[in-house]
Structures are given as C-alpha cells and as structure tokens.
Amino acid sequence: MKTQELLFLSLNLCILPFTEKEKDPKYWNAGAQMTLKNALTLQTLNKNKAENLILFLGDGMGVPTVTAARILKGQLSGQSGEETQLEMDKFPFVSLAKTYNTNAQVPDSAGTATAYLCGVKANEGTVGVSAAAVRSQCNTTEGNEVTSILRWAKDAGKSVGIVTTTRVNHATPSAAYAHSVDRDWYSDNEMPAEALQAGCKDIARQLFENIPNIDVIMGGGRKYMFPKNRSDVEYPGVAKHSGTRKDGRDLVQEWIDKTKDKKGHYVWNKKQLLSLNPNNVDYLLGLFEPGDLPYDLERNSETDPSLTEMVEVAIKILRKNPSGFYLLVEGGRIDHGHHEGKAKQALHEAVEMDRAIGRASLLTSIHDTLTIVTADHSHMFNFGGYTPRGNTIFGLAPMLSDADQKPFTSILYGNGPGYKLVNGARENVSTIDYQENNYQAQAAVPLSMETHGGEDVAVFAKGPMAHLLHGVHEQNYIPHVMAYAGCIGQNREHCLSRSGTAGLHPVLSTIATLFTVTRLLC
C-alpha cells in the first residue's frame, strides 16, 4: 500500500467514533504501517553537532505518571485519552535509566541530579559532589567537587539557563552550579554554625558565585536571596515569606549591580517577564515566589508565569548566541504533588511540562538541538482496577472491593497521607469528592509524606546523537551523551571533522581501517 493511500485511510478512519473505527482491522494495520515507515527513516542517524542542548527533567515523573498524564492530556481536550500522544511520546529514541544513588536503592532528587547533570553517581542528599562526600559533613566537601554539564557548556562559550517551578536553589537546579554536602542548605540561615565556620557556602550564594554569568535563571526562592526579615515585595508583612539571610547580603541587588551594563534584567512577576524584548536581554533573573511556584492548577495566570511561558522567554534569549546554548528545565512540582498524595496536582504539572516541551520544539530544530526528557526518580503512584476505555483518570474502578465491598479510585499510592480509616475501616470514597484538586488518593501504608519509587525511569531523546540513548543505562550516562553531541566537556576529539557533523573518534577510525586492511589481506 502506498504512503498516500495509508495517509488517506488513516484520515478517513480518524473521523469515525473511536469505538467504531477501532473495530476495523484496517485502522490498526494502517497505523502500524505508518509507524513502521517513520521508524525506517530513523535508519539514517542524525550525527550532526548539537549546537543546543535541552534537558527537561520531570521531578518524580515515573512511567506510571507519564501514562496517566497522557490520558489526562487527551481527556482535557475531550478525547478518551489513552490514544493521545504527549510531546515526549513523539521523540524517536527511548531508553531506561537506573536511578539508584551510591548509598540508596530508592534515590532522592539531589543524588540523582548530580548523576544526570555532573555525570557521576553520588550519595542521597548531596549535590555537585562525589560519593566520597558525606551528607551534612562540611569537611568532606573540599576535593570532592564535581562539575556539571552547565559548567562545561559555559566554558565552551555557550549561553546557559535554568528554569524551574521549584526554588532555584532546590535539589535539581542546584546540582547544575553548587557543591554542597547538604541539599537543604538553601541559605546560611539553614546551615549549622560549624559548617559556616568551616567555610561551607549556602546554595543561594553559590548560584551567583560559582559559575559567573549564568545567562538565564528563572523559578522561585526569592526569600533566600534577601537579608533576614526583609519584607517580600509580593507578600509584604507576611513573616514566612520574608528574607532569610543572616549575612545581611542582598544577592538580587548584587546581581542587578553586576549586570546593569550588560543588558541584565531582574523580574518577579509575569507582567514584567512578558514585557521584556528578548532581543534586548542578555541576562535574566526571574524569581517569582519566595518559595516554590504554585501548582499550575492554583497558579494566578495574571501574576505568575507558566512553565511554558518561562521556557519560551529563556530560549529566545539563549538562542541569540551563535555558539548555541544549554538549558535545564525542571517540572519540579510533579514530585511535590505525589509526595502530598495529590495525584491531580501532580498530573496537571506533568501536562504543563509537556506543553513546555512542545513550545521548545517549535522554537528549535532537531537538526542542531538535542532535547532529552527524563525523570530523576519515580513515585509510589499507580493506577489500575480494570477501568473501561475513556474512564476519567481520576475516577472510580468499575467494581467494588470483594474484601470490604466499597468502591475505590483507579489511582492509588503504595504509601502516603491518603491512608485513612473511618470507624476502623477504609474510607468509602463515594461519600467524598475524589475528583477535587487536592484530594489525597488512598494509600496502603500511612505516611505523612509519600515516598519515591525505585524503578527505572524513561529517557526520551531527539536530535543530534539521540540514538546513543538506547537500552538500559546508568543515570549518570545522560550528560556524557549530551556533552558528546555538543562537543563540550571531555568529549571533543571526534568533533575535529570540518563537515559540520560529529565524525568518528580518531581511535575508532584507526580500528575501522585495520579491520578493512585485515579483510583485504585475507
């Protein structure tokens, strides 16, 4: 069957109700044949040099979260959901990453961030240091620092950026620039006196001192940048949002003073951000909340930018550099939603990150931009219960429990705050609003905070050298692939080809020549 005929058949089948079109074997055969033809085009590998490198990190976005977010995305647009494609689903190469920390079977976000940003596995709770460093022991920092791909990119002349929905000094972004034996040392206020006396620096301070001139920084965490008790610009008089720094420094003003003659701009709300002309901005610091940004479902669309909006501005600023850019984007509150047992919050965060992935795709090209989407770890989140096709992802399973004769939601957690007994028995979910935004799904084991999961996470890749992400790998492999594709860090020798493509490493070329000569001689 010709490609045009397949396309025509697919389009005609798509206008039928899904229950009807899917009864026809031609629907499934045509779809599979189109997928096969697309797969065959991937036999010609993209070996271009990646001028631009983008890493989208869905914090806590395990495979069950990806699947549930796909269904939610479709249902938000009036579809059944299961057949929907996420933007990340369209990436041609997918692999699995093993997420364990050097000292933890089930990891945390700090040790994993060190892996996928710095290229080495590390202990839980530490960022930007090797496994030789011990959590909270300041004297194990020096000599055990490891640098990140953001640093490698900056040293190679690229522009670099960080965009997150959490605090900019939270675990994920901090591994890009900081070397800290404790992820919780957000400012000097959170550090023990002995650590300060021993010379360890808080993470907020390291953001501005370790890697000079990070081009774009956007997220939350304002309070860690200002002197203790300094009233917040957005929430004046609210003590919990006031400055925390004991050293009296105003890190934001210091940044403004340093960049004012370099087209630097500081913004703290959406209006200020979107009023900027990226062509007139070389450095951007955007701190939109004292702590983490609000969940997307609770976001004030007038004052708080979405992740998609932040990503668009970041790329438009960074792409002006003819040497290209590196951008780290974190959908950080997927993780927070799961920890709180609030699956609806978590899944809407994942859908918003997928929108941001789509926007980035429109602003870049697969010919010169390597884009990777992955997670740092999973969660004790899942959904099941033999739900019928099109069942709302937040809905009930179609049967009662045969143990307690009560209904249950499809979404459940293995542990967490959703464990609840009423009169000594499991709560009857039909008596409450289980589709409310902050509903805490039932959990098997009671915990104040749900935990991470230990299974492998998916790694989606497209663009130059994306084919190197295949099979099952250690998580720390990811930045090595990105560095190789971008000809930065320790992987540069293969980039000496003048053709503009990433050529063979000289050693590999020699081996190939030897094999050819051997075959001729035999």
pLDDT digits (tens, 9 = 90+) for 303-345: 999 999 999 999 999 999 999 999 999 999 999 999 999 999 9
Q: What is the pairing mode between strands 159-167 and 381-383?
A: unpaired
Higher-confidence position of 493 and 254? 254
First CA to last CA distance, the chain: 45
254 is in an annotated binding site: no
pLDDT digits (tens, 9 = 90+) for 145-172: 999 999 999 999 999 999 999 999 999 9
pTM, to two decimals = 0.92
Query: Alpha helices, DSSP H only, in 268-324?
Result: 270-274, 307-318
What are the chain's domains? 46-380+454-489 (3.40.720.10), 396-446 (no CATH)
pLDDT of residue 492: 87
172 is in an annotated binding site: yes
Radius of gyration of the chain (CA): 24
pLDDT at position 4 over 80: no
Q: Which band of pLDDT confidence, cut at 50, 70 and 90, is reported for residue 17? A: low
Mean per-residue pLDDT, 340-354: 98
Instruction: Report the residue count for the chain.
Output: 522
Q: What is the DSSP letter of 303?
A: T
Supply 497's token pair.
């080809």
59 is in an annotated binding site: yes
The rounded distance, in Å, linking the Cα atoms of 454 and 219 is 27
pLDDT digits (tens, 9 = 90+) for 30-70: 999 999 999 999 889 999 999 999 999 999 999 999 999 99
The reply to whether 174 belongs to the active site is no
83 is in an annotated binding site: no
Q: Which band of pLDDT confidence, cut at 50, 70 and 90, is reported for residue 503? A: low
pLDDT at position 506 over 70: no
339 is in an annotated binding site: yes
pLDDT digits (tens, 9 = 90+) for 259-314: 999 999 999 999 999 999 999 999 999 999 999 999 999 999 999 999 999 999 99
pLDDT digits (tens, 9 = 90+) for 389-401: 999 999 999 999 9
Task: Write out the DSSP string of 322-371.
Answer: TT-EEEEEEETHHHHHHHTT-HHHHHHHHHHHHHHHHHHHHHS-TTTEEE
Q: Which band of pLDDT confidence, cut at 50, 70 and 90, is reported for residue 497? A: low
The rounded distance, in Å, linking the Cα atoms of 111 and 181 is 10
The strand ranges marked E within 209-254 are 216-220
The rounded distance, in Å, linking the Cα atoms of 146 and 49 is 25
Q: What is the DSSP letter of 489?
A: T
pLDDT at position 8 over 70: no
pLDDT digits (tens, 9 = 90+) for 236-263: 999 999 999 999 999 999 999 999 999 9
6 by DSSP, 3-state: which? helix
* Total Cβ atoms within 10 A of residue 495: 17
371 is in an annotated binding site: no
Please tell me which residue in 109, 136, 174, 361 is annotated as part of the active site. Answer: 109
234 is in an annotated binding site: no
